[in-house]
């Protein structure tokens, strides 16, 4: 039995829905939404739209001219108690006369936390934990980054029902449907960086930009990261196009040619080095450390077979997977499948993958999966059980309900 009423749960759901409007715009901040409730009705709501912009609580309070005497506030993160790019929410809450604050989770950021205690000392009632599981999953990029300094890694891939990602002749455009590819752009829009391997960069020449369906304009493009151990990618590739916005990072092996590195830097790109793993591939763990050090909270890997095997088996870094399965068979012994690499020899060596969500996206099957070792909260970080909601949950349910022929 929940200690909250369905109405209260509904208020926090609305705060979470508002928070989600910040998808792709708030990094390095979390997505936060807030509603103010008077006599069991929502009287104001707001969300955080990006760094330097008002916090969700401030946005909601502003709707009432900061006069909220006797109101309850529902917010999916503990109100901050610090002067950052904006002032402390605790002060605004105290000045406005809010009676009680319901928040889902404590703020893991040590410089901003402590707001709940401050409010309580000043006589405001506080109640923590409402929809904590959902609130955790909504902001897992932020939580992982703040708690570990490493980015949250999402991997997206598409295959036929027999697990092939291309034909034996190398044709791969397109296996998944327009609906699935549109959704891919929505994922791209929400991450700080997109990473591909050298094979994909050369063969597909992707732009690596986010072009989500017309819900909102993109305020910024994710960084583009390409693994090119020996720096031999042609300079004319689309991902080197500086007009697209968002920097391009090329990751090479330590022995890569110095002249090639300087040329890239002269052209305005960033060059990182990563050691090779015993198998000869660039170390993804090292790449992720550098991604974290650059302040990027999330990375989307769009892998070919080699990179997928690396990210899921050999040098596992993935926290969450989106797999699209197109209802078709490709066949062919030599056609590449989702994972290349060496593979495991014994079934006991495989890593478990948990199915979080499963549904139809256009004509394709969509799977949201969490591989073993993927980031999850400890009990103290998130006291509520994790209910299996992804941070895209509402969008997913909405999309699963569409008819197969419908454009999304």
Q: Which of 72, 107, 315, 319 binds ligand AOF (CB under 6 A)?
A: 107
Q: Could you tell me where the DSSP H helices lie in 47-197?
A: 56-63, 89-96, 115-121, 132-138, 140-148, 178-190
| Residue 48 binding ligand AOF, by CB under 6 A | yes
| Residue 84 binding ligand AOF, by CB under 6 A | yes
Question: By C-alpha distance, which of 157, 120, 95 is closest to 323?
Answer: 157
CA angle in degrees (0–180, nearest 5) for 43-137-296? 105
DSSP type of residue 213: -
Report how far residue 319's alpha carbon sits from residue 384's, in angstroms, rounded to the nearest whole number. 20
Report the residue number whose CB is nearest to ligand AOF. 84
- Rounded (10°) angle between helices 393-400 and 178-190: 170
For ligand AOF, which is the closer residue by CB, 129 or 184?
129
The length of the chain is 408
DSSP type of residue 347: G
E strand map for 169-269: 193-197, 223-227, 248-252
19 binds, among ligand AOF, Zn ion, none (CB under 5 to 8 A by kind): none
Q: Which of 86, 182, 286, 381 binds ligand AOF (CB under 6 A)?
A: 86
Which one of the listed residues 14, 41, 57, 354 is annotated catalytic? Answer: 57
- Mask 204-223, x = binds ligand AOF (CB under 6 A)? --------------------
Question: By C-alpha distance, which of 83, 22, 85 is closest to 56?
Answer: 22
Q: Mapping DSSP to helix (H, G, I), strand (E, B) and coil, where does residue 259 land?
A: helix
For ligand AOF, which is the closer residue by CB, 85 or 178?
85
| Residue 80 binding ligand AOF, by CB under 6 A | yes
Q: Which of 12, 16, 18, 32 binds ligand AOF (CB under 6 A)?
A: 32
For Zn ion, which is the closer residue by CB, 88 or 151?
88
For ligand AOF, which is the closer residue by CB, 27 or 172?
27
The set of residues, in sequence order, having a beta carbon less than 8 Å from that of 22 and lying 6+ positions away, is: 31, 32, 33, 47, 48, 49, 50
Contact residues: Zn ion, CB under 5 A? 55, 80, 89
| Residue 114 binding ligand AOF, by CB under 6 A | no
Question: By C-alpha distance, which of 101, 49, 103 is closest to 76?
Answer: 103
| Residue 29 binding ligand AOF, by CB under 6 A | yes
For ligand AOF, which is the closer residue by CB, 50 or 163?
50
322 binds, among Zn ion, ligand AOF, none (CB under 5 to 8 A by kind): none
364 binds, among ligand AOF, Zn ion, none (CB under 5 to 8 A by kind): none
CB of 223 to ligand AOF, least distance (A): 20
57 as an active site residue: the answer is yes
DSSP labels, 85-110: SS--HHHHHHHHT--EEEESS----T
Please give the structure tokens belonging to residue 148: 């570990």
Report how far residue 115's alpha carbon sits from residue 88's, in angstroms, rounded to the nearest whole number. 9
- Mask 49-68, x = binds ligand AOF (CB under 6 A)? --x---xxx-----------
For ligand AOF, which is the closer residue by CB, 48 or 150?
48
29 binds, among ligand AOF, Zn ion, none (CB under 5 to 8 A by kind): ligand AOF
Residues that bind ligand AOF (CB under 6 A): 29-30, 32, 48, 51, 55-57, 77, 79-80, 84-86, 89, 107, 109, 112
User: Which residues are annotated as catalytic?
Assistant: 57
């Amino acid at each position: 039995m929940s200690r909250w009423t369905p109405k209260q749960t509904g208020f926090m759901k609305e705060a979470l829905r508002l928070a989600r409007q910040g998808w792709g715009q708030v990094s390095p901040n979390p997505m936060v939404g807030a509603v103010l409730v008077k006599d069991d009705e929502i009287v104001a709501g707001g969300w955080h739209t990006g760094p330097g912009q008002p916090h969700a609580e401030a946005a909601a309070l502003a709707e009432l001219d900061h006069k909220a005497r006797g109101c309850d506030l529902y917010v999916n993160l503990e109100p901050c108690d610090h002067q950052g790019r904006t002032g402390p929410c605790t002060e605004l809450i105290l000045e406005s006369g809010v009676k009680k604050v319901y928040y889902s989770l404590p703020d893991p950021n040590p410089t901003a936390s402590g707001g709940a205690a401050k409010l309580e000392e000043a006589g405001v009632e506080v109640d923590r934990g409402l929809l904590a599981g959902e609130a955790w999953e909504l902001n897992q990029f932020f939580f992982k980054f703040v708690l570990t300094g490493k980015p949250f890694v999402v991997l997206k891939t598409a295959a036929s029902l027999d697990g092939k990602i291309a034909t034996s002749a190398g044709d791969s455009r397109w296996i998944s449907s327009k609906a699935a590819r549109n959704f891919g752009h929505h994922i791209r829009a929400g991450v700080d960086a997109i990473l591909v391997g050298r094979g994909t960069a050369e063969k597909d020449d992707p732009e690596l930009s986010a072009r989500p369906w017309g819900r909102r304009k993109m305020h910024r493009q994710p960084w583009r990261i390409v693994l090119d151990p020996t720096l031999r990618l042609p300079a004319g590739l689309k991902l080197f196009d500086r007009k697209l916005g968002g920097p391009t990072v090329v990751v090479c092996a330590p022995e890569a040619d110095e002249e090639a590195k300087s040329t890239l830097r002269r052209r305005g790109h960033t060059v990182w080095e990563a050691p090779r793993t015993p198998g000869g591939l660039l170390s993804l763990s090292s790449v992720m450390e550098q991604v974290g050090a650059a302040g990027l909270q999330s990375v989307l890997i769009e892998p070919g077979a080699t990179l997928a095997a690396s990210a899921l088996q050999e040098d596992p870094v993935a926290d969450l997977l989106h797999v699209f399965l197109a209802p078709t068979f490709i066949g062919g012994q030599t056609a590449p499948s989702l994972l290349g690499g060496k593979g495991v020899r014994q079934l006991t060596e495989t890593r478990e993958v948990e199915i979080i969500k499963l549904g139809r996206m256009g004509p394709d099957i969509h799977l949201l999966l969490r591989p073993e070792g993927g980031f999850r909260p400890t009990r103290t970080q998130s006291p509520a059980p994790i209910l299996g909601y992804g941070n895209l949950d509402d969008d997913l349910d909405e999309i699963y309900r569409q008819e197969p022929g419908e454009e999304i």
